[in-house]
Structures are given as structure tokens and as C-alpha cells.
């Protein structure tokens, strides 16, 4: 079973080629329930799917669509209640992962770039260009930088001196990578991101601020993805580090000397202040802010918009402004919803007391 | 009455040509109170206006300046108290709109671009360039993209394959528009914006995250304005949609499969998570965060920095973290300001009780 | 004593040339305690320093490292307890400033650009290029703009018409500066920043929004630093102004007609709404949001993630959402942590009362 490696630009998620769900289930490592000969030619969400589409159920919020979707077949999890569902199913232990792999099967690699250097690209001295590298129009790569095998730098990017772009990494248009930035293998960096800008460091001298030279670097591990318009500052000394497999959403700010572990999720518009550390496998929800010089443990979850001001132990879920252990914040929130009532009860107590005091005189 | 269509670069809001307020009032559809022959040659804010300037009163905070401004004439609303004001006035039912149109009259269109393609621009195969299109230096437009009549793509922009820029739309320098993005008519996109970056979708596979291919597109309606360094992610499947007439401020994050209605206002640094829907005519204030997969109704107002975690019905105003109906949040805030007092009262009650209990023994 | 003016690209903060701490202390204006002949060849943080490195103690959080660091010498403050420290020290009244100057001594100026214009740069009519100006590849400078002595515009930048870049200012790659923007001397602007985008101003006309032309400019004072992907909108009329010596971190949004004083610190992801004023010497922590048309005094400190909704007097520290005087917010937070307890106490009071009421019947 081959994937379609053509650039598919249809917006509705359909392609022409039909596949039966038996072969799809085998490719995904799932099990067919129902007619394995049913054919599908596209993939769509459970709300929008039409006949001929494959769909999936991964978010319980969409469970109600299981019996109403127009899709021809559905990828479901082992525990989903499918007793009322007449459609052929692919049972899979991880339906969302199966969906991801089905998309790859139907759509192939979105970008497939030839090994060439556009004539308008400007390369400095001693730039190493390994086999299979693609460099787009108006790219600038400065002296001594290494572009590893199969890496792709698209239009308008700037890559500073003595940096390195790892094997098969993909840099989208208009990214800025400053000097002395080391990027691993299969990294994806989206447009407008800035990697290696100066850390925000100033020494106060009377009423004026004196710039601290930012002479460190940035190191980004393999399989990292960095969203559009993200900023990752270089270290003052040493490196700002993002561990392998970590995924960073759009408009995130990562300050100088931050150290993020492996396989973390950092959602949109998060801000992480200087020298803060985040352990492996942590999940930081959108718009969270973190103070500088703190240590977030491994496997920590931080709820959206929280303000984290101190160390968080391994495996803890924190939430709120300021961030507290989540059950504590939830109790406070519940109390806040009842404040009106508490104040009313306090008044009643006061009145009852007054009455008692009056009577006892 | 013709508008001045030259590129005016004065910072103080003055041009040389004089107009009397009678002709200005006719152009704006307002009514002169006082001497219609008074001439003005510039426009300025009510605080900074000098003799010879026209000004306006739209924000009640500035009402005090009505009697002290040095302006030669003032645009006012139908209900403004102008009893002490000696200056000639233009009464208009919508003074802020009248001010906008007066600016157009005095300054004309800020940019007026010739129909040409800069020799350093790189156009792919089958790019459709309709009449009146302007393409600036170092622009890259990829295969199969359509640039509709009178559209303008300024320096350093990238437009991916199979996209479309609608009639008279204006794309400022250094914007990135990825493949399969459809932009309507008279859209304005400011510098650094990224439209069509990959949605942030990963399926967890043990401790690692596996990328969900993002194969959908983006559709932006007519008359939309998108601020500087905004990010709009493409859909996983289907489209991320921004309805016509919606205005989006700087540094806003719009995730994959979000659907924003028509004529909405989204202020700076707002973040909208995946698959969330916002109804027509809603106003989202600065730094608001919204959870994914929720439905915000029509005509909803969300106060600044709120965290919206669940559906909001049509016509509701919500505020706070978490966002509650605004009166509820305001009551909680008022209680919070008095917490000291409540705790004091609780102590007094406890002491009084102790006294009663002691006496009754 | 000369600084090394070569471009040093080592990430570990080491260079080859050795200096003894006596000469370093003289250069920094500090006093040696211990053996002035000890030599150092690099600079590193107190945690990561190795033998042969100079380090420093500025943040009390790192005090414990004073006795365990492997550094060969340490810059300390006048009041640091160094009784147990065997290492040679440089005592300095401002160790962080001394560290900054030591970095300059060891690393020199990070960028040192030749006076030249890259052949791919596009300059409009009447562009003034003074002595010592460096213009990188694919830069676009439009008509009538002035590039003052020794200013540097790196790859991919756009500078609009009738703007000015002051003496020795440094504009990093892929910055967009629109027309009619005046930038002072020794200003640093980081990649992806957008200066002079349109202010977000619309007049409502029924259900639709009508654009207010933004015909003002931007003025940025001497010695300002602006972070990566920052947005500074042009004024509607007049100018948006950033006072000299003010430092702005990444992803900050500064709206139209904002006026920021001198020597302020604006941390990452702050958002300042239209026409708001900030006095000299104020410090605004990360992710703060400010309403429009308010006046923040001189020397104000605003805590992280605060929402400032009204004027703040000179010299005040505010914090919270909404921002209150900091002691008030801290008291409220302390009460919130004890809400469980208060509610318990309220219940006890109610039960005791009931008992009394029962007995008295």
C-alpha cells in the first residue's frame, strides 16, 4: 500500500483514489467491524463527512455524531459504544493516531522539495550544503553554516553564521535564525519564527539600563516543531535549549537560558521567562506565563492562562493566577461563585446575634 | 469635492489645502452650527489641535476639551452639550465615522500603487495576474495562485501555491501566506502576519507526539483586516474561516478550524483555540483566551484578559478568569475588595458568640 | 586594555585570550580580594563555570553556588557574605553591570559590519545613505528615507518612505518599518518586529466597521531596544512615541498613539492599548494588559499578567486582575488561600447560633 506523495491542494479533504477499509485497517494496525470491502476516497471530520469519506471519533464531545455522520466508515476506540452504529468501523487502540496515519496515507507528504538552490539565494563563505538540500528564493545563509542532508530552507529565510540545520529539517518562508543556533533533525519551524534573538538582559546603572551582551546560543533537539511567529532568545552565556520531540504552538515567547525537556507541549502565546526549566513530558496550556529562574518538574500540566511563580514538583497539575495545585484553585473558584451566599449568611448570623444580645440584656 | 489622493507623509496631520466647514459638512452628511465659511487645513485630536484644524468629539473622556481646544471647528454628536462652545460645529449622528471620512477627504488613500511587477519578484507556473496588480520587490508567488484585479502584494511577501488574493486586497511587506489560502476582496493584511501555518495537532503515541498532517485551508472574507504578526492556522481538514468585515488586531492567534463570523472585532493578543466558533458581530477584547471546541454566540462581548472555557449564548457579555456573566464577575470583584471587612466581621461574630456561650454557662 | 572585536561564535562563553583579574578589576572599576595574578580566559554562569572562567553573583537565588562554583574568580557585590569563599574576588558596587562590561571586554561587539550596500538591496528615490551605513541582501528602502551614519539594516528588512534610521542603529533581519517612522540613535530592533503598522481604529456604521485612516507616525528615542516580533502601531494622528533608553521585550503590542516615557522596561507579551501613557522609569512585567486612554505615572511597577484598567499614580506598585495596589492584591490572595477555613468557621458559627437559639426557646 503506497501513500500518495503528490502535493494535494484540495481544501475539502478529498482525493480521487479509492481504498477499501480492509486495506486501510491493515495499514493502520486496526480491526474492521462490518463490511471490509466498503470503499472510501477521502477523509473528513465526523461533523462534515459525506458519503465516501472515512472519519474518526477521538474527542468524546463529538460522540453524538457517531450515529448521525454521513461518513462511509469510522475509526473508533476500543471502548466506544458502537451498539447503535450501522456503519463499518475500524477499531484502533488510538483512534487519533490512526487518523493521523490515515491522513498521511491519503495525502502523502505535503511538501516534497527538489534538491536545488534558487539563483536568488545568497550563501556566505564556507557554507556546507549537503546532499538533497533545497534553498528557496531570496534566502540568506551566512558564513560557516551547515545545512545537513535533505534540509529545506524556504523563501525569504535568514540563517546567521556558524549555525546548523539538521537532516530533513523544514524551515518555512520568512523565518529568521540568527548566528550560532543548532537545529536538530526533522525539525519543523513555521513562518515568522525568530530563533536566537538577543535575550532581554540589562544591568541597571542609575536610572539607565546597560545592555548585557548575549553571547550564548540556542540548541533545538530532533523532531521539535516550532509555530509561526514564535520567539526563542539566545542565551546570555551557554545555550537556550529545547529538548527533542517538544512541540511549540504559535506566538510563544521563550526567553534566554530557558531549558525545556523532551516531548513537551507548549500551547499558543505561552511566555517562559529567563533561565526557567521545564521537565520532560510536561504540557503547558495556552497563554500561561512563567516567572524566571523556576523549575517545573517532569510530567507537569499547567492550565490555560495560569501564572506560575514558583517551582512545581514532578507530576503535578497546577492552575490559576497565581497557579496553585488544581484542586485548590477549583475549590477557590467554587467558593467565589458562592461568595454572594456566604456574605448573605454572614449578615443573617449578625442579625441573629444582635437579636440574642438584645434579648439577653 | 475631490479627495487628495497624494501620499501625505506629514506626521502632524496637516495638509496645505483649505476647505470651509460648510463643504466638509455637506461631504460628511452633517449640519453646520455657526459660521460655515470658517476654513480648516488639517485634522487633529481635540487635545492637540491648533487653530486651522478640524477636530472631533467621540469619546466622552475628552468632553472637557470641548471648551478648551484650539481647533477652528469641531465635529460633535447630536446629544453633546455644546452650550458653552463658541466654535463652529458640524453636528453628525456618528461623529467618529464622520471623523474617519474627514480623514479620507484630507489625506486620500495612503497607498496608491501602480500596476507593475518588480523585476526581483519570483512568480511560479500558472500564476494568474489580473489587471492592475502591483507586486513589490522580492515577492515570491508559487504555482497556480490567482492575484485578482487591483490587488497589491508588497515587498518580501510569500504567497504559496493554489492560493488567491481577492480584488483590491492589500498585503503589506513581509507577510507569509501559505498554499491553499483564499483571501476575499478589499482585505488588508499587515506586515509579519502568517496565514495558513500548520494547525497544532498531534496524536500521542506513548510518550511521543506524532504530527497530524494539516491538509485543510483558510478562507478570509471580504473587507477583513488582519493585524501585524497575527497567525491564522490552516485547518486539519476543511477550512479555518474568518467572516467578511471582521477586524483582527496585532499578535492574535487563530488556531486550526476556528470559524469567526462576520463583522467581529478581535483585539490585540487574543488567542482562539482549535475548532472554536464565534458568531457574527461579537467583540473580543485584548488578551482574551478561548478554549477549543466551544461556541460563542452572535453579538457576544468578552472583556479583556478573560478566559472563556465554555459556550456563551447570543448577546451575552462575559468577563473574568474564568469568564462569567459580567454582573456576576463584577459582584465577585466587589466582594473581593471587601474580603478584609468580611473576615473582620466573622471574627467579631465569633467573639460575640464566645461571650454569649461563656455567660450562658 | 583592548576589547576583542572579533565575531566570537563559541556557545560556551570561552575565548582563548587570558587576562588576570587585576587588570579586569581595573577595567571594571572594582577591587580585588585575593590573588590579583590569577588568570581567566572565559566567562560563565556561577552554576556552569569551569576552572579558568570568571563568574559573577548578582541574583541572591544563586548565593549557594558561591562556595561550590568551579570558577577561578567571582565578581561579587559589596554586601555579599564571602567569608567561606577561598576564590579570588572582584568586589564591585554593581556586580551585574560589572558582568555586562566583562562580557564586552571578552567578546567585543558581536556584530561589526562593513560600510557597504549589498547589490540585491533596492533603494528608492532620494534615499540618504550617510557614511558607514551597511545594507544587507534583499533589503528594500523606499523613497526619501534617511539612513544616518553607521546605521545597519540587515537582510530582508523593509523600510518605508520618508522614514529615518538614526546613527549607529542596528536593524536585525526581516524587520518591517513602515513609512514616516523616525528611529533615534543606537536603537536595536530585533527580527520580525513591525514598526508603524496601522493603528486598530474603526468607526461603527450600523453593523459594519469603517476603517479610520491611520495617517500619523512613530517616533522611537535613542538607545531604545525593541524585541523580536514586537508590533508598534502608527498613530491615527500625531505619533506613537517610545522614549529614549526604554527596553521592550519580544512579542509586545504597542497600539496607536501610545506614549511611553524614558528608561522603561516592558517585558514579553505585554499589550498596551491605544492612547495610553506610561511615565519615565516604569517597569511593566510580562503579559500585562493595559486599557486604552489611561495614564500610568513615573516609576510605576506593574506585576506580571496584571490587567491595568485605570490611571496609576507615580511610584505605585500594582498587581492583579484587575490591578490593585500590590498590598491589597496580596491580602486578597492570602484570604483566598484561607477561604475554605473561613467558610468552615462560618458554618461553626451558624451551628453554635442554632444551638443557642434552640436552648433559649
Residue B14 cell numbers, joined: 496637516
What is chain C's percent helix, strand, coil content, to nearest 5?
15, 30, 55
Average of pLDDT values for A304-315? 98
Cβ distance B205 to A97 less than 8 Å, yes or no, reads: yes
Bridge partners of C203, per DSSP, are: C210
Residue C44 cell numbers, joined: 560563565
> Residues A21, A54: contact at Cβ < 8 Å?
yes
The structure's pTM equals: 0.94
Closest alpha carbon to C243 in A208, A200, B268: A208
Scan residues 179-198 of A and list those with Cβ closer than 8 Å to C.
Answer: 179-180, 182, 192, 194, 197-198
Chain Cα centroid distance, residue C185: 17
Q: How far apart (Å, rounded) are the C-alpha atoms in residues A217 and A203?
A: 20
Q: How far apart (Å, rounded) are the C-alpha atoms in residues C153 and C166?
A: 11
Is residue C256 part of the annotated active site? The answer reads: yes
Q: How far apart (Å, rounded) are the C-alpha atoms in residues B199 and C93?
A: 51
Closest alpha carbon to C308 in C298, C326, C328, C294: C294
Residue A347: which H helix or E strand, with range?
Answer: helix A339-360
Closest alpha carbon to A66 in A81, A51, A50: A81
pLDDT value at C110 more than 80: no
Residues of chain A with C-beta less than 8 angstroms from the C-beta of B204: 94, 96-97
Give me the sign of the Cα torsion angle C347, C351, C356, C361: positive
Residues of chain C with C-beta less than 8 angstroms from the C-beta of A273: 267-268, 286
Predicted pLDDT of residue C171? 98
Closest alpha carbon to A90 in A63, A58, A61, A60: A58
Question: Exactly one of C256, C293, C327, C335 is catalytic; which is it?
Answer: C256
pLDDT higher at A357 or B8: A357
Residue B241 cell numbers, joined: 474561516
> Residues C286, A289: contact at Cβ < 8 Å?
yes
Residues of chain A with C-beta less than 8 angstroms from the C-beta of C154: 158
pLDDT higher at C344 or C3: C344
Place of cell 466654535: B87
pLDDT value at C3 more than 80: no
pLDDT value at C220 more than 50: yes
Predicted pLDDT of residue B359? 81
Q: Which of C200, C238, C359 sits opposite B13 (nearest CB)?
A: C238
Predicted pLDDT of residue C15? 47
pLDDT per residue over A297-309, tens digit each? 999 999 999 999 9
* Cα of C88 to nearest chain A Cα, Å: 21
Cβ distance C156 to A161 less than 8 Å, yes or no, reads: no
Give me the sign of the Cα torsion angle B328, B330, B331, B337: positive
Residue B135 cell numbers, joined: 507586486
- Residue C46 in 3-state DSSP? coil
Cβ distance B345 to A350 less than 8 Å, yes or no, reads: yes
Cβ distance B271 to A251 less than 8 Å, yes or no, reads: yes
Most B CBs within 10 Å: which of C176, C217, C343, as the mutation test of the B interface? Answer: C176
Nearest-by-CA chain A residue for B123: A137
pLDDT value at B326 more than 50: yes
pLDDT value at C289 more than 60: yes
The four Cα atoms A16, A20, A21, A27 give a dihedral, to 10 degrees, of -80
Interface check for C6 against chain A (CB to CB < 8 A): the answer is: no
Cβ distance C194 to B229 less than 8 Å, yes or no, reads: yes
Residue C98 cell numbers, joined: 560589572
Q: How far apart (Å, rounded) are the C-alpha atoms in residues B189 and B201?
A: 25
| % of chain C at pLDDT higher than 90 | 86
Provide the phi-psi class of B299: left if phi over 0, else alpha when psi is between -120 and 50, else beta. left
Residue B245 cell numbers, joined: 468585515
Average of pLDDT values for A127-145? 98
Interface check for C334 against chain A (CB to CB < 8 A): the answer is: no
Bridge partners of C128, per DSSP, are: C146
C156 confidence band (pLDDT: 50, 70, 90): very high
Interface check for B334 against chain A (CB to CB < 8 A): the answer is: no
Pinpoint the alpha helices (H) of B64-135: 95-107
Enumerate residues 6+ apart whose C-beta is below 8 A from B341: none
Question: Exactly one of B92, B110, B256, B293 is catalytic; which is it?
Answer: B256
The values of phi and psi at residue C359, to 5°, are -65, -35
Predicted pLDDT of residue B112? 77
Nearest-by-CA chain B residue for A42: B237
Interface check for B250 against chain A (CB to CB < 8 A): the answer is: no
Residues of chain C with C-beta less than 8 angstroms from the C-beta of A340: none
Most A CBs within 10 Å: which of B199, B271, B287, as the mutation test of the A interface? Answer: B271
Q: How far apart (Å, rounded) are the C-alpha atoms in residues B155 and B158?
A: 9
Residue B15 cell numbers, joined: 495638509
A252-284 burial code (b ≥16 CB/10 A, e <16): bbbbbbbbbbbbbbbbbbbbbbbbbbbbbbbbb
pLDDT per residue over A249-266, tens digit each? 999 999 999 999 999 999
pLDDT value at B77 more than 60: yes
* Cα of A206 to nearest chain B Cα, Å: 33
Residues of chain C with C-beta less than 8 angstroms from the C-beta of A194: 174, 190-192, 228-229, 250
Amino acid at each position: 500500500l503506497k501513500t500518495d506523495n503528490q502535493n494535494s491542494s484540495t481544501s475539502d479533504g478529498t482525493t480521487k483514489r479509492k481504498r477499501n477499509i480492509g486495506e486501510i485497517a491493515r495499514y493502520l494496525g486496526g480491526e474492521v467491524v462490518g463490511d471490509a470491502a466498503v470503499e472510501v476516497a477521502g477523509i473528513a471530520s465526523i461533523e462534515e463527512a459525506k458519503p465516501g469519506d472515512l472519519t474518526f471519533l477521538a474527542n468524546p464531545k463529538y460522540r453524538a455524531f457517531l450515529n448521525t455522520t454521513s461518513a462511509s466508515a469510522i475509526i473508533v476506540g476500543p471502548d466506544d459504544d458502537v451498539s447503535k452504529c450501522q456503519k463499518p468501523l475500524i477499531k484502533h487502540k488510538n483512534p487519533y493516531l490512526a487518523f493521523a496515519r490515515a491522513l498521511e496515507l491519503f495525502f502523502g507528504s505535503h511538501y516534497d522539495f527538489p534538491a536545488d538552490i534558487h539563483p536568488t539565494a545568497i550563501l556566505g563563505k564556507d557554507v556546507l550544503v549537503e546532499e538533497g538540500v533545497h534553498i528557496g528564493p531570496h534566502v540568506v545563509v551566512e558564513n560557516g553554516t551547515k545545512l545537513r542532508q535533505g534540509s529545506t530552507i524556504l523563501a525569504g529565510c535568514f540563517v546567521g553564521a556558524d549555525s546548523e540545520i539538521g537532516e530533513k529539517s523544514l524551515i518555512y518562508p520568512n523565518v529568521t535564525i540568527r548566528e550560532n543556533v543548532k537545529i536538530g533533525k526533522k525539525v519543523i519551524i513555521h513562518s515568522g519564527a525568530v530563533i536566537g534573538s538577543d535575550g532581554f538582559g540589562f544591568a541597571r546603572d542609575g536610572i539607565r539600563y546597560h545592555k548585557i551582551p548575549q553571547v550564548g546560543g540556542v540548541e533545538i533537539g530532533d523532531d521539535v516543531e516550532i509555530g509561526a511567529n514564535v520567539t526563542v532568545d539566545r542565551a546570555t552565556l551557554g545555550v537556550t535549549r529545547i529538548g527533542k520531540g517538544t512541540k511549540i504552538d504559535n506566538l510563544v515567547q521563550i526567553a534566554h537560558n530557558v531549558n525545556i525537556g523532551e516531548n513537551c507541549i507548549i500551547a499558543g502565546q505561552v511566555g517562559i521567562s529567563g533561565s526557567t526549566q521545564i521537565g520532560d513530558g510536561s504540557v503547558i496550556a495556552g497563554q500561561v506565563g512563567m516567572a524566571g529562574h523556576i523549575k517545573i518538574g517532569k510530567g507537569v500540566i499547567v492550565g490555560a492562562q495560569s501564572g506560575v511563580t514558583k517551582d512545581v514538583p514532578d507530576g503535578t497539575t497546577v492552575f490559576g493566577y497565581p497557579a496553585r495545585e488544581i484542586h485548590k484553585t477549583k475549590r477557590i473558584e467554587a467558593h467565589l461563585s458562592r461568595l454572594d451566599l456566604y456574605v448573605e449568611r454572614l449578615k443573617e448570623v449578625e442579625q441573629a446575634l444582635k437579636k440574642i444580645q438584645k434579648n439577653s440584656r
